[in-house]
Structure 1
Amino acid sequence: MEEMTSSPQSRRPLSSRPLARRAPEGLGIPEAAVLALAERLAAQGLDPHALLVARHGEVAFETAWAPYRLERPALVYSASKTYTALAIGFLADEGRLGLDDSAGLHVGEANPHGITVRHLLTMNTGHSAAQIERIGADPLILLREEPAFAPGTHFAYNSPATHTLSAIVTALTGEPLTAYLRPRLLDPLGIGERWMSPYGGIEHGASGFHLTVDDLARTAIMLNARGVVDGVQVAPAWYVEEMSRPWSETAAFDGPAAATGEVNDWALGYGYQVWRGRHGFRLDGAAGQFGLVLPEHDLVIAYQGATLDTQATLRAFWAFVAAVEVADAAGGADVAGGADAAGRADAGVADAAVSARRVERDTWAARDRLLAADPFDGAALHDRADGDGWTLVLPGVGSVPVDTFWQEVSVTGPALEDAPAATHLRLATRGERRDDGAALVHLVDTTSPHRVIVSRDGDGTVHAG
Structure 2
Amino acid sequence: MYIDGIFVGSAHVDDKPPYNRPMGPVVARGGASGVVIRHGKLVAEWGDTSRPDMTFSIAKSYLAILTGLAVDKGLIGSIDERVGERVKDGGFDDAHNSAITWRHLLEQTSEWHGELFERPDSVDWHRQVGPSVSSGTSNAKGSERALTAPGTHFEYNDVRVNRLGLSLLRLFERPLPEVLKEHIMDPIGCSTTWAWNGYETSWVDVGGQRMQSVPGGGHWGGGIVINSRDHARLGELIKNEGYWEGQQLLSQERVRAMLIPSRLNPTYGLLWWLNTEKRLYSQAPETSVFALGGGSNIIWIDRPRDLVVVIRWLDKPCTDELLGKFTSAIIA
Normalising by structure 1, we get a TM-score of 0.51
Rounded Cα–Cα distance in structure 1 between residues aligned with 2:146 and 2:74: 29
Select which of 272, 276, 284 maps to 2:270.
272
Query: Does the alignment pair 1:89 with 2:68?
Result: yes
RMSD, matched Cα: 2.4
Counterpart of 1:54 (choices 37, 47, 51) is 37
For 1:304, the equivalent position in structure 2 comes to 312
Deviations, residues 75-121 of structure 1 (Å, cap 9, x unaligned): 00000111111111111111111312222331422142211111000
Task: Please list every run of 5 or more consecutive structure 2 residues that lacks an aligned counterpart in the other structure.
Answer: 7-30, 114-119, 126-144, 203-212, 279-284
Q: Is the 8 A contact 2:124 2:157 kept in 1?
A: no
Alignment partner, residue 196 of structure 2: 196
**Aligned positions of 1:252-263 closer than 5 A:** none
- SS for the counterpart of 2:256 is helix
User: In the aligned structure 2, how far is the partner of 1:210 from the partner of 1:183?
Assistant: 17
Bigger radius of gyration: 1
Which residue is 2:319 aligned to? 313
The structure-2 alpha-carbon separation of the partners of 1:290 and 1:239, relative to structure 1 and needing over 3 Å to count, comes to same
| Contact kept in structure 1, 2:124 and 2:156, CA below 8 Å | no
Aligned to 1:245: 260
Query: Which residue is 1:408 aligned to?
Result: none
Aligned with residue 95 of structure 2, among 84, 98, 112: 112
Secondary structure of the 2:57 match is helix
Q: Which residue of 2 aligns with 1:224?
A: 239
Partners of 1:102 and 1:116 within 8 A in 2:
yes
> Quick one: which of 83, 98, 104 aligns to 1:103?
83
Paired with 2:39 and 2:242, the residues of 1 have a C-alpha distance of 14
Task: Determine if contact 2:112/2:160 at 8 Å carries over to the other structure.
Answer: no
Distance of 1:285 and 1:135 partners within structure 2: 16
Aligned twin of 1:288: 296
Matched, 1:78 2:39: no
- Offset from partner CA, 1:264-316 (integer Å, 9 cap, x none): xxxx5111111112331111000111101111211111111154xx2522331
The letter of the residue matching 2:217 is A
1:233 aligns with one of 219, 227, 248: 248
Q: Secondary structure at the match of 1:90?
A: helix
Paired with 1:319 and 1:249, the residues of 2 have a C-alpha distance of 31
The one of the two structures with greater contact order (alpha-carbon pairs below 8 A, sep at least 6) is 2
Q: Which amino acid aligns with 2:258?
A: M
Q: In proportion to residue count, which structure has more helix?
A: 1
Question: Percent of counterpart pairs with the same letter?
Answer: 24
Which is strand-richer, 1 or 2? 1
CA distance in 2, matches of 1:282, 1:239: 16
Distance 1:287 1:147, change over 3 A: same
Q: Give the corresponding residue for 1:178.
A: 177
CA distance in 1, matches of 2:252, 2:293: 24
Aligned AA (2:60): K
Distance in 1 between residues matched to 2:228 and 2:42, nearest whole Å: 12
The answer to whether the 8 A contact 2:177-2:196 is kept is yes
Report the Cα offset of residue 206 of structure 1: 3.4
Amino acid paired to 2:33? A
1:165 is matched with which residue?
A: 164
